[in-house]
């Protein structure tokens, strides 16, 4: 269906929706973007909102913020070098911000945008790390989603809702083909062009895909035929190979049956020979045991003999040492006696020398006393002379002081006389000056009082404002502390949860790693003997039949009993359970032939164990159970379990084990849960056991480890949920802190501003008070001075006469004082000379007294030294006497000990002779047993050679048997039992062998066979069919895309033509209105190509003939571009427009025309204009002022013009 206008229904619906669209910009929130570090919110109303401010204040950053939040990616358009430049970079007073955030709020009351909410918020955030995010209504979206949201609304990144100086100039100065962008957005075909480009991209992809599909189909067609032939050949080969396999396995099975009968005969012979060998070996063991017993006795006697001989040698050495010590001590006694006699002689000589020293000391004492008396007389003379000197000095200084005072008095009187003379001459002029100064001070006091009152009022207002700011700041601080405590708590909890998760992750990895290790050990039979591993591996390959497995693999046990069962079994855990004796013999022969060790086999047909049957066991203290009852196994292995564990009791601890074994007469083994053992017969085995995964409990521990790992994983999953919740709570708290920080920063700025103003006012108040105080003091001083001047003018002459008389009297007194001072100085010199003579005599006496005292002290020291020597000699003599007594006692003790040792040496000699005789008897018995041992060894060697011959023959037969088993495995990977199931009875062996030869010939004749061709042919055939279907689908898709592109192109051509015609018509009208006349038109450079043609502009201002737009002045070009912009808005009104100084180039008259015309468009469009022109500001409804009081930081001030006009009554 086509409407009369020629537009499709889709086009008509889009235009209808556009006309009904009433989107309005309601708010813009900026934080950390360019010069707006603090959270700043602009609220927009209908009409015109003007953002004004001086150059460099940051007002154009508001337009950049809107471009940026709508998805602008060009850093050049955003006036930066890189995208990170939009984040506030910091100033000298502020740190750089970590991110930039802008949020745009749009009214969506009529649902023009595809959201149910009445408002739609679009936000963008960029971090310094480069991370960026877009959100619509708080939901994270892609940049593409933002672009598509505003496409064909005029609000997108390529729309005409945001126009700056450069963009408005491009409309006129750009080439005709470069003007299409804004006209396409205005015509409403951007979304169509976008969809057509998407369809073209999909068409290109479809054509490439179609080309690739055709190439692959051609390749597959070339492969299908050869692969079909190869598949037929492969099927023929498989038929022949299957017949060959059945026939060959049948022949091998027949051969194995014959070999098994021969092996059984050989095993019987071996058994008889082995019994004979074992009997001879038992005789040899008995003889060797007796020889070893005699040898042990001989060794024990030899040790005892050596020990006693060593004791005798030790005692003899001790006797020799004692004799030497006694000789040394006797020599010490003689030396000490001689020393005592020498000390006595020295003491007697010291008594004789002491008398002479006492006489010398008494002589020096008398001499010192005489000279001390003479010295005291000289000291008294010194004191008398000193006192006289002090008295004379004081008198002389008194005269000097009086003279100085009289001189000062004379100088003062002279000065006073001169001043009085000057005062008398100038007192008149000074009185007049003082009166004038007093009048000026009275006038200044009146002005100062008025200024002080004004400052007092301003200071009170400032204090009140500061109190409000401090209260608000304190409230914000409390709020921030609350959020901070919440964030710290969430952060600590988050760290704790992450640590818990890391610990659980590490535990889980440890459990899984240990489980893998134990699994590898289990699979490789780690811990088993090499012989056991060999037998089990051969059984798995089918080379050895009748093997059930090791005991540990055939039983299960609970974890609580695992250690006890492992200890009870011991090495028997590695015993191999086999079906019968024949299987055991085959396995033993294989071990012997391969030389891989020995193993114990438990045939199910012969092993029949006994069990404990005492009824009293169940009531015994600590009894857990019979070991055989604590394990689980298949019923066919119960006899083996009874043999190994039927006569072993499991109890709680070692005390219970000892009591139970004693009560049972030590007839069976008892094992505790922790692995201690009381053996039959009473011996005990125990100690510490390293608890790790044993052979028996390894599989159970693997399951336990995996269960623990799964539990850790479940707990980690729960922790992940908690971590996510706590992370969200932490993010919310941190976001709240950032919000409060912004408010705190604003409050801090207000506080600093108030405090600064308060300081200024307080300083001004103090200065005013200081000035008033100084003025008051000066006023009082001037009044006093005035009185003095008036008095001085009357009495100046009388004062001069009085002062002259005082000056003469002072001159007389000064002469008398100078005469007395000279007399005292002469007497002082005489007294000083006498004092010097007395001082010399006293010093000589003091020196003589000091010398005598020194000699007396030396003599006293010599006397004391002699006393010390006497004491030391007496002490030494006493000490030597004590040493002699101790030495005599020591000699007595040594002689007694020597006599005892001599008696012990004689006893040891007797014991050595007795043990030597016993050792000789043991040697004789050993020689007789050695002869018997030689004869038994000869018989054992003969039996061993026969046994080896039989075993070698059996091994050869077993080797042939095993070779056939191995060949079956190598050729067809089947065991003997599997081969027996596949084999057919062979009635005629030669005929079967001939048929086998024929089959091999036919297979060889086929040559090389590609067995994979069967499967490959199926895959290629299936793929060929599939791709052929895909090719047909791709061709249909290509045709549909071509039709879609054609339809979109037709719609774009229709819509653009209609809207361009309307814009051109409106341009002619708007141009005439703005230029007050003239003519203007818009036309397509190529009317035949509507969608790619450039757009030409023709204008003719009143009174001018213009052939080229470049001939217009800059202001005229800007006005033409504005006329085109207004023409677009009349056809396709944008919900809101942000105009960034587009009228900057206009003169004042045209600015007024521009602003008035802007007002006529406000009924359909909301305008936000960034300007510094008066005419635009006067037309605005709301003014936002942008200032930069703080360097590098923009601030906003809102002024609602309508409200102010209403309050002031302005029409």
Please calculate the CA angle 432-433-436 and round it to the nearest 5 degrees. Answer: 90
Q: Give the whole-angstrom CA distance, residue 562 versus residue 130.
A: 60
Both structure tokens of 617: 């066991």
pLDDT (tens digit per residue) in 894-925: 888 878 888 888 888 888 888 888 778 787 77
Higher pLDDT, 952 or 1000: 1000
Quick check: 1177 and 53 in contact, CB under 8 A? no
Quick check: 1076 and 1100 in contact, CB under 8 A? no
Confidence band, pLDDT 50/70/90 cuts, at residue 684: confident
- Which range is most confident: 250-264, 740-754, 849-863, 1073-1087? 1073-1087
Task: Write the CA distances from 296 to 292, 303, 469, 923, integer angstroms.
Answer: 6, 11, 107, 11
pLDDT (tens digit per residue) in 574-601: 899 999 988 899 889 888 888 888 888 9
Q: Give the whole-angstrom CA distance, residue 195 versus residue 11.
A: 14
Task: Give the closest residue to 455 by CA, choosing from 775, 764, 773.
Answer: 764
Higher pLDDT, 358 or 28: 28
Q: Give the whole-angstrom CA distance, residue 53 versus residue 1198.
A: 12
Q: Which residue has the tokens 């007399």?
A: 823
- Which range is most confident: 365-374, 434-443, 779-788, 1112-1121? 1112-1121
Strands 99-107 and 48-52: unpaired
Task: Give the closest residue to 1129 by CA, choosing from 157, 67, 159, 110.
Answer: 159
- Reduce the secondary structure of 548-585 to three states and give it as a string: EEEHHHHEEECHHHHHHHHHHHHHHHHCEEECCHHHHH
Task: Write the CA distances from 1100 to 763, 1061, 1076, integer angstroms.
Answer: 67, 19, 11
**Which residues in 555-683 belong to E strands, given as ranges?**
555-557, 576-578, 601-603, 623-626, 631-633, 648-651, 669-672, 677-678
Q: Give the whole-angstrom CA distance, residue 894 versus residue 888.
A: 10
Q: What is the pLDDT of residue 6?
A: 36
pLDDT (tens digit per residue) in 1183-1195: 888 988 888 888 8
Q: Give the whole-angstrom CA distance, residue 790 versus residue 780.
A: 16
Task: Give the closest residue to 216 by CA, choosing from 1106, 1001, 1031, 1019.
Answer: 1031
For 1091, phi then psi, to 5°, come to -85, -15
Q: What residues form DSSP beta bridges with 1095? A: 1084
CB under 8 Å to 609, separation ≥6 — which residues?
A: 628, 639, 640, 641, 642, 643, 644, 645, 646, 647
For 1141, phi then psi, to 5°, come to 55, 40
Of the listed ranges 62-76, 509-523, 629-643, the one predicted with least confidence: 509-523
Task: Give the closest residue to 1183 by CA, choosing from 40, 43, 74.
Answer: 43
Confidence band, pLDDT 50/70/90 cuts, at residue 1005: confident
Q: What is the pLDDT of residue 8?
A: 38
Flag whether pLDDT at 1058 surpasses 90: no
Q: Give the whole-angstrom CA distance, residue 1019 versus residue 224.
A: 10
Q: Give the whole-angstrom CA distance, residue 19 versus residue 1062.
A: 15
Task: Write the CA distances from 193 to 112, 328, 460, integer angstroms.
Answer: 21, 129, 68
Burial 598-620 (b: 16+ CB within 10 A, else e): ebebbbbeebebeebeeeebeeb
pLDDT (tens digit per residue) in 107-151: 887 777 888 888 899 999 999 888 889 999 888 888 888 877 776
Quick check: 511 and 703 in contact, CB under 8 A? no
pLDDT (tens digit per residue) in 1141-1182: 888 888 888 889 888 988 988 888 889 999 888 888 888 888
Both structure tokens of 1026: 């599939």
Of the listed ranges 655-659, 689-693, 1178-1182, the one predicted with least confidence: 689-693
Quick check: 51 and 1170 in contact, CB under 8 A? yes
Alpha helices, DSSP H only, in 597-697? 638-645, 654-663
Q: What percent of the chain has pLDDT over 90?
A: 4
User: Which of helix, strand or coil describes residue 808?
Assistant: helix
Residue 1112, sorted as left (phi over 0), alpha (psi -120 to 50) or beta, turns out to be beta
Q: What is the pLDDT of residue 176?
A: 64
Task: Write the CA distances from 237 to 900, 1001, 1004, 1020, integer angstroms.
Answer: 108, 12, 10, 21
Q: Give the whole-angstrom CA distance, residue 203 versus residue 1046.
A: 12
Of the listed ranges 615-624, 770-779, 825-834, the one predicted with least confidence: 825-834
Task: Give the closest residue to 654 by CA, choosing from 681, 628, 626, 673.
Answer: 673
User: Which of helix, strand or coil describes residue 673?
Assistant: coil
The terminus-to-terminus CA distance of the chain in angstroms comes to 55
- Section 492-512 average pLDDT: 84
pLDDT (tens digit per residue) in 739-792: 777 777 777 777 777 877 777 778 777 877 877 787 787 777 877 777 776 666
Confidence band, pLDDT 50/70/90 cuts, at residue 354: low
Domains identified in the chain and CATH numbers: 9-189+1059-1208 (3.40.50.300), 528-694 (3.30.70.1620)
Neighbours of 4 (CB within 10 A): 5
Task: Give the closest residue to 874 by CA, choosing from 334, 348, 335.
Answer: 348
Confidence band, pLDDT 50/70/90 cuts, at residue 828: confident
For 558, phi then psi, to 5°, come to -70, 155
- Section 643-660 average pLDDT: 90
Task: Write the CA distances from 875 to 344, 868, 870, 1112, integer angstroms.
Answer: 12, 11, 9, 136
Confidence band, pLDDT 50/70/90 cuts, at residue 798: low
Could you tell me which residues are annotated as the binding site?
A: 54-61
Using CB atoms within 10 Å of the CB of residue 567, give its burial: 0 to 12 exposed, 13 to 18 middle, 19+ buried: buried
Flag whether pLDDT at 693 surpasses 70: no
Of the listed ranges 380-389, 1090-1099, 1114-1123, the one predicted with least confidence: 380-389
Neighbours of 1046 (CB within 10 A): 12
Q: Give the whole-angstrom CA distance, residue 440 versus residue 430.
A: 16
pTM reported for the whole predicted model: 0.39
3-state helix vs strand vs coil in the chain, percent to 5 = 70, 10, 20
Q: What is the pLDDT of residue 576?
A: 92
Q: What percent of the chain has pLDDT over 70?
A: 88
- Section 718-727 average pLDDT: 86
Q: What is the pLDDT of residue 856?
A: 74
Q: Give the whole-angstrom CA distance, residue 713 versus residue 720.
A: 10
User: What is the number of residues in the chain?
Assistant: 1211
Q: What is the pLDDT of residue 927?
A: 78
Q: Give the whole-angstrom CA distance, residue 1169 versus residue 1167.
A: 6
Q: Give the whole-angstrom CA distance, residue 53 versus residue 430.
A: 61
Q: What is the pLDDT of residue 152?
A: 57
Q: Give the whole-angstrom CA distance, residue 551 versus residue 638.
A: 11
Could you tell me which residues are annotated as the binding site for ATP?
A: 54-61
Q: What is the mean pLDDT of the chain?
A: 79
Q: Give the whole-angstrom CA distance, residue 376 versus residue 30.
A: 104
Task: Write the CA distances from 232 to 193, 235, 572, 930, 1001, integer angstroms.
Answer: 58, 5, 57, 82, 19
Quick check: 49 and 1180 in contact, CB under 8 A? yes
User: Which of helix, strand or coil describes residue 1006?
Assistant: coil
CB under 8 Å to 1020, separation ≥6 — which residues?
A: 220, 223, 224, 227
Task: Give the closest residue to 6 by CA, choosing from 1046, 1084, 1050.
Answer: 1050
Quick check: 68 and 80 in contact, CB under 8 A? no
pLDDT (tens digit per residue) in 811-826: 777 777 777 777 767 7
Q: Give the whole-angstrom CA distance, residue 147 versus residue 190.
A: 11
Both structure tokens of 445: 């006091």
């Amino acid at each position: 269906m086509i409407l009369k206008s020629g537009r499709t229904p889709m086009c008509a619906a889009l235009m209808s929706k556009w006309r009904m669209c009433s989107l309005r910009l309601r708010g813009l929130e900026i934080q950390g973007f360019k010069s707006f570090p603090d959270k700043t919110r602009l609220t927009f109303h209908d009409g015109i909102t003007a953002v004004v401010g001086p150059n460099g204040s940051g007002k154009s950053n508001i337009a950049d913020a809107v471009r940026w939040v709508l998805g602008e990616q060009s850093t050049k358009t955003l006036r930066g070098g890189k995208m990170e430049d939009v984040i506030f970079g910091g100033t000298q007073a502020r740190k750089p911000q970590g991110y930039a955030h802008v949020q745009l709020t749009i009214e969506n009351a009529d649902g023009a945008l595809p959201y149910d909410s009445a408002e739609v918020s679009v936000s963008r955030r960029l971090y310094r790390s480069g991370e960026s995010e877009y959100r619509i209504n708080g939901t994270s979206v892609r940049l593409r989603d933002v672009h598509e949201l505003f496409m064909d609304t005029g609000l997108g990144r390529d729309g005409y809702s945001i126009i700056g100086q450069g963009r408005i100039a491009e409309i006129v100065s750009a080439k005709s083909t470069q003007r299409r962008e804004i006209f396409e957005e205005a015509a409403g075909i951007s979304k169509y062009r976008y969809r057509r480009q998407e369809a073209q991209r999909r068409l290109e992809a479809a054509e490439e895909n179609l080309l690739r599909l055709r190439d692959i189909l051609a390749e597959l067609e070339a492969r299908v035929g050869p692969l079909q032939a190869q598949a037929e050949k492969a099927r023929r080969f498989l038929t022949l190979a299957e017949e060959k396999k059945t026939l060959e396995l049948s022949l091998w099975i027949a051969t194995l049956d014959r070999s098994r009968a021969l092996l059984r005969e050989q095993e019987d012979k071996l058994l008889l020979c082995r019994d004979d060998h074992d009997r001879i070996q038992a005789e040899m063991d008995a003889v060797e045991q007796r020889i070893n017993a005699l040898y042990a006795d001989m060794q024990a006697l030899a040790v005892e003999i050596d020990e006693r001989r060593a004791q005798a040698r030790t005692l003899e050495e001790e006797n020799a040492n004692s004799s030497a010590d006694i000789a040394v001590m006797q020599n010490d006694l003689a030396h000490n006696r001689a020393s005592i006699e020498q000390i006595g002689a020295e003491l007697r000589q010291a008594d004789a020398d002491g008398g002479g020293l006492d006489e010398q000391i008494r002589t020096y004492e008398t001499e010192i006393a005489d000279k001390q008396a003479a010295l005291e007389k000289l000291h008294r003379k010194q004191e008398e002379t000193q006192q006289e000197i002090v008295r004379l000095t004081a008198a002389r200084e008194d005269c000097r002081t009086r003279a100085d005072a009289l001189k000062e008095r004379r100088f003062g009187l002279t000065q006073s006389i001169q001043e009085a003379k000057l005062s008398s001459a100038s007192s008149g002029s000074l009185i007049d000056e003082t009166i004038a100064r007093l009048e000026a001070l009275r006038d200044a006091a009146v002005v100062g009082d008025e200024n002080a009152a004004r400052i007092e009022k301003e200071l009170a207002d400032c204090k009140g404002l500061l109190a409000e700011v401090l209260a608000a700041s304190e409230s914000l601080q409390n709020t921030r502390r609350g959020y901070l405590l919440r964030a710290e708590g969430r952060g600590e909890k988050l760290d704790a949860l992450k640590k818990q998760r890391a610990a659980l992750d590490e535990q889980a990895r440890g459990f899984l790693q240990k489980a893998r290790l134990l699994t590898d050990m289990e699979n490789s039979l780690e811990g088993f003997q090499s012989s056991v591993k060999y037998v089990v591996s051969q059984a798995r390959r089918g080379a050895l039949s009748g093997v059930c497995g090791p005991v540990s693999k055939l039983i299960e046990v609970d974890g609580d009993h695992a250690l006890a069962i492992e200890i009870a079994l011991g090495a028997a855990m590695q015993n191999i359970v086999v079906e019968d004796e024949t299987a055991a013999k085959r396995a033993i022969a294989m071990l012997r032939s391969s030389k891989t060790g020995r193993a114990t086999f438990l045939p199910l047909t012969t092993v029949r164990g006994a069990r404990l049957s005492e009824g009293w066991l169940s009531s015994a203290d600590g009894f857990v159970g019979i070991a055989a009852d604590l394990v689980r196994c298949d019923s066919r292995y119960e006899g083996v379990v009874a043999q190994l564990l039927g006569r072993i009791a499991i109890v709680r601890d070692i005390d219970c084990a000892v009591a139970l074994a004693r009560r049972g007469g030590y007839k069976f083994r008892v094992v505790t849960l922790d692995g201690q053992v009381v053996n039959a017969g009473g011996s005990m085995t125990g100690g510490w056991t390293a608890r790790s995964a044993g052979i028996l409990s390894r599989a159970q521990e693997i399951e336990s480890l995996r269960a623990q790992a799964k539990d850790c994983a479940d707990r980690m999953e729960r922790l992940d949920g908690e971590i996510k919740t706590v992370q969200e709570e932490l993010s919310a708290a941190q976001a709240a802190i950032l919000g409060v920080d912004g408010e705190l920063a604003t409050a801090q700025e207000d506080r600093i501003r108030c405090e600064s103003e308060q300081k200024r006012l307080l300083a001004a108040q103090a200065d005013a008070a200081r000035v008033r105080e100084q003025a008051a003091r000066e006023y009082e001083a001037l009044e006093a001075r005035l009185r003095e001047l008036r008095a001085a003018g009357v009495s100046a002459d009388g004062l001069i006469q009085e002062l002259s008389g005082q000056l003469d009297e002072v001159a007389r007194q000064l002469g008398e004082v100078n005469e007395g001072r000279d007399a005292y100085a002469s007497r002082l010199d005489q007294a000083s000379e006498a004092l010097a003579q007395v001082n010399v005599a006293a010093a000589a006496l003091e020196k003589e007294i000091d010398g005598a005292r020194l000699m007396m002290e030396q003599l006293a020291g010599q006397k004391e030294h002699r006393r010390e020597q006497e004491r030391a000699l007496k002490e030494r003599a006493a000490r030597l006497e004590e040493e002699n007594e101790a030495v005599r006692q020591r000699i007595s003790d040594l002689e007694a000990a020597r006599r005892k040792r001599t008696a012990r040496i004689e006893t040891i000699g007797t014991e050595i002779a007795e043990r030597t005789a016993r050792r000789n008897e043991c040697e004789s018995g050993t020689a007789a047993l050695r002869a018997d041992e030689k004869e038994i060894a000869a018989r054992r060697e003969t039996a061993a050679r026969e046994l080896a011959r039989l075993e070698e023959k059996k091994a050869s037969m077993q080797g042939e048997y095993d070779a056939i088993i191995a060949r079956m495995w190598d050729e067809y990977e089947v065991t003997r039992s599997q081969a027996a199931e596949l084999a057919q009875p062979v009635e005629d062996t030669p005929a079967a062998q001939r048929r086998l030869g024929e089959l091999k010939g036919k297979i060889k004749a086929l040559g090389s066979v590609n067995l994979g061709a069967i499967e490959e042919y199926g895959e290629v055939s299936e793929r060929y069919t599939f791709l052929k279907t895909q090719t047909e689908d791709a061709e249909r898709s290509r045709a549909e895309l071509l039709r879609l592109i054609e339809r979109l192109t037709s719609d774009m051509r229709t819509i653009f033509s209609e809207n361009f015609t309307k814009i051109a018509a409106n341009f002619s009208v708007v141009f005439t209105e703005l230029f007050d006349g003239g003519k203007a038109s818009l036309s397509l450079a190529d009317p035949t190509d509507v969608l790619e043609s450039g757009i030409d502009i023709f204008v003719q201002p009143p009174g001018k003939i213009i052939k080229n737009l470049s001939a217009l002045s800059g202001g005229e070009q800007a006005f033409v571009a504005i006329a085109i912009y207004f023409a677009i808005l009349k056809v396709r009104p944008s919900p809101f427009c942000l105009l960034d100084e587009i009228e900057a180039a206009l003169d004042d008259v045209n600015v007024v025309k521009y602003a008035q015309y802007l007002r006529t468009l406000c009924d359909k469009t909301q305008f936000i204009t960034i300007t510094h022109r008066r005419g635009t500001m006067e037309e605005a409804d709301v003014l936002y002022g942008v200032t930069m009081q703080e360097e590098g930081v923009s601030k906003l001030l809102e002024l609602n013009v309508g409200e102010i006009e209403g309050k002031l009554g302005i029409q």
